[in-house]
Amino acid sequence: MATTFPELDTRDLPVGAHAASIAAAIDGLSVGGSFILVAADDPRPLLGRLKADGHSGIEWSVLELGPERFRVEVRSRVGPRTVTDFLEGDHQRLDAILQQVARLSADGEDDEARERFAEFETGLGWHIDVEEEVLFPAFETNTGSTNGPTTFMRTEHVAIRQLLVACGAAVAGAGDVQRAIDELGKALAAHNLKEEQVLYPVSDHAVGGDAEREELVEKIQAF
């Protein structure tokens, strides 16, 4: 079962036509709509430029980051967002992919399960990196707390990354997939709940006003 989103593959287009074709796809998005952008090089800098250039109603998630191709899910977005909205939404997006991997693997669709797991791995890697490199430093600066929740979350990230590696090995054929997904899923559920109930809301509150909050969300999105 391949992804059902429409796809825009720029690899066969002349380089000079990339921006215009992506801009047209963005402008054609309905509310809540999305498409998968496929490219030979990382398309995120171009998406950032298009966004700054008036095609602003979008956000995106990485599905594949090279080396041979890049795939990014581009979605329409409405109104200002909070850190809680944005990253809780990413938790839900990743949970749904992991559940798909479990289903596909149970059905014996091993190739498809591996493809979806690769998307999960890329997405969770991005998610943890953006928390550690953008969100947690902002939290620490804005709250003055450098040895509290962020230290605890970083420690949990180390354990989650280890479970992710074990899960990848299982999906690749070297272990019990359902058990590995179950263990990773449990660790993520407990971790995500703490972030959603404490760290994200405090980040939203501590950053200052609406403009500062939107700026932080944009920084997270652009990472």
Minimal distance, residue 191 CB to Fe ion, in Å: 6
Span near Fe ion by CB under 5 A; candidates 8-16, 61-69, 72-80, 187-195: 187-195
Residues 199-218 that bind Fe ion (CB under 5 A): none
Of 13 and 222, the one with the shorter C-beta distance to Fe ion is 222
Of 59 and 195, the one with the shorter C-beta distance to Fe ion is 195
Minimal distance, residue 208 CB to Fe ion, in Å: 22
Span near Fe ion by CB under 5 A; candidates 18-26, 53-61, 68-76, 188-196: 188-196
Residue 14 per-residue DSSP state: -
Do β-strands 7-9 and 34-39 pair in parallel, antiparallel, or remain unpaired?
parallel
Q: Are 83 and 213 in contact (CB under 8 A)?
A: yes
Q: Can you read off the two tokens belonging to residue 28?
A: 């054609």
Name which of 10, 11, 65 is nearest 42 in CA terms: 65
Strand (E) or helix (H) holding 164: helix 149-169
195 contributes a contact to Fe ion by CB under 5 A? yes
Strand (E) or helix (H) holding 181: helix 177-194
Site for Fe ion, rule CB under 5 A = 131, 195
